[in-house]
């Protein structure tokens, strides 16, 4: 949780820099450029990230085979996303200008090694090496912020230069994570058995990941398609500000898959219950604080141009509490090798998101998108709580 707070603070600083310098229109273009490559990778990734965490935690004695197989699968996935995304993104973001398209294409070119980096980091997490894993996360975000400050001081902060700095920060953590794993992995041993097992886990988790990604980012994607870039920039600030609430759940959800996978049934359920009991009061208090302070902090921190994002920020802060708590339950279920159960919750939630966006976005703009997210996140949290209360690991 401490690492998440530090990372969130750095993310807030990077958000402030880009929001103030690029203004709402430029912020919207940057969001669109970084959003679509992430969506492509989420679709093609088959939910493998969490599969790597589970398998490296569960099959510690076969760590070499798990990591080697995950690396190969990840590189193939990234290559597929690279080819498809590079040639289709001009048609998706053509109205956002050539710089936005070029920036997204750079991210697609990085995708093969970027996916390899992601799974290397996941392997460290699944192995229970939380200190080096958190250190790399902090280093990456710190380098990104330092790069943005350098661009700001030299008056070179643009959408494309921000994307370059982002990729360079990932290059550093890619190199470091590969080095750390090379000290643990005795030999590269490809295993069809573990590759198939991870893909099977991933495919079970795929629909949850796809629906969850769509549910969490459908609002931004639809705004980018139907509203001006300025609206997307305002909404992105609201989402970023509300993340200060969500991070209170991060310390729990990050470790639950790995820890529950290594625990017996009773201990695993106790871990999930304890996490919810500790996180819930903190998140409720944090959400209330965000609602009260948003009218003062948003214009102060991001600038007066973002005053129209205040109401959306207040609504999204409440939604963030439900979002964080449901992810604790989801990762607990994944630790029991049941990545399929969260799908049902996310599917209902996505249906609510789409219906409410259709009704509210034309009427209320970004406030309507925030209300849609609030209702959807509350729905999925309630369903997750019901699913968990009726779940038996022996099933």
pLDDT exceeds cutoff 60 at 395: no
CB 86 within 8 A of CB 106: no
* pLDDT of amino acid 361: 82
pLDDT confidence tier of residue 180, bands split at 50, 70 and 90 = very high
**Given its phi and psi angles, is residue 148 left (phi above 0), alpha (psi -120 to 50 degrees) or beta?**
alpha
pLDDT confidence tier of residue 392, bands split at 50, 70 and 90 = low
Greatest CA span in the chain, whole angstroms?
A: 60
Q: Which of 4-8, 231-235, 312-316, 361-365 has maximum average pLDDT?
A: 312-316
**Could you tell me the two tokens for 324?**
């964080």
The mean pLDDT of the chain is 86
Q: What angle do CA 394, 256, 207 make, to 5 degrees?
A: 75
Q: What is the pTM of this model?
A: 0.69
Give the Cα separation of 88 and 241 in Å (integer). Answer: 31
* Range 244-262 average pLDDT: 83
Give the Cα separation of 249 and 217 in Å (integer). Answer: 19
Give percent above pLDDT 70 in the chain. 96
pLDDT exceeds cutoff 60 at 277: yes
**Could you tell me the two tokens for 382?**
């309630």
List CB contacts of 46: < 8 A, sequence separation 6 or more: 77, 199, 202, 203, 205, 206, 209
């Amino acid at each position: 949780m401490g690492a998440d707070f530090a990372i969130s603070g750095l993310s807030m600083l990077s958000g402030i820099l880009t929001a103030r310098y690029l203004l709402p229109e430029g912020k919207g273009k940057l969001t669109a450029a970084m959003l679509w490559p992430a969506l492509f990778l989420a679709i093609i990734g088959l939910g493998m990230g969490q599969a790597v965490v589970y398998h490296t935690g569960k099959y510690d004695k076969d760590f070499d085979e798990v990591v080697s197989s995950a690396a190969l699968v990840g590189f193939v996935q990234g290559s597929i996303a690279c080819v498809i995304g590079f040639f289709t993104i001009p048609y998706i973001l053509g109205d956002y200008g050539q710089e936005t398209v070029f920036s997204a294409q750079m991210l697609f070119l990085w995708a093969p090694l970027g996916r390899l980096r992601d799974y290397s980091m996941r392997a460290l997490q699944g192995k229970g090496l939380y200190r080096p894993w958190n250190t790399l996360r902090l280093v990456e975000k710190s380098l990104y912020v330092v790069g943005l400050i350098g661009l700001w001081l030299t008056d070179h902060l643009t959408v494309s230069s921000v994307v370059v700095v982002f990729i360079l920060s990932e290059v550093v953590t890619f190199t470091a994570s590969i080095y750390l794993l090379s000290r643990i992995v005795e030999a590269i041993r490809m295993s069809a058995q573990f590759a198939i097992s991870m893909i099977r886990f991933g495919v079970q988790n795929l629909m949850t990941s796809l629906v969850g990604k769509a549910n969490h980012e459908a609002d931004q994607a639809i705004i980018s398609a139907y509203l001006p870039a300025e609206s997307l920039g305002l909404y992105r600030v609201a989402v970023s500000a509300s993340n200060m609430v969500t991070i209170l759940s991060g310390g729990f959800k990050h470790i639950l898959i790995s820890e529950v996978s290594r625990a017996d049934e009773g201990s695993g359920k106790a871990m999930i219950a304890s996490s919810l009991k500790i996180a819930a009061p903190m998140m409720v208090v944090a959400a209330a604080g965000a609602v009260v302070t948003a009218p003062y902090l948003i214009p102060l921190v991001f600038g007066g141009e973002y005053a129209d994002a205040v109401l959306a920020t207040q609504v999204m802060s409440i939604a963030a509490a439900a979002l964080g708590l449901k992810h604790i339950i989801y990762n607990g279920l994944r630790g029991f090798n049941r990545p399929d159960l969260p799908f049902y919750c996310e599917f209902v939630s996505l249906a609510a998101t789409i219906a409410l966006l259709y009704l509210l976005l034309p009427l209320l703009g970004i406030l309507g998108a925030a209300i849609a997210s609030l209702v959807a996140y509350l729905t999925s949290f309630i369903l997750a709580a019901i699913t968990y209360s009726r779940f038996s690991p022996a099933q």
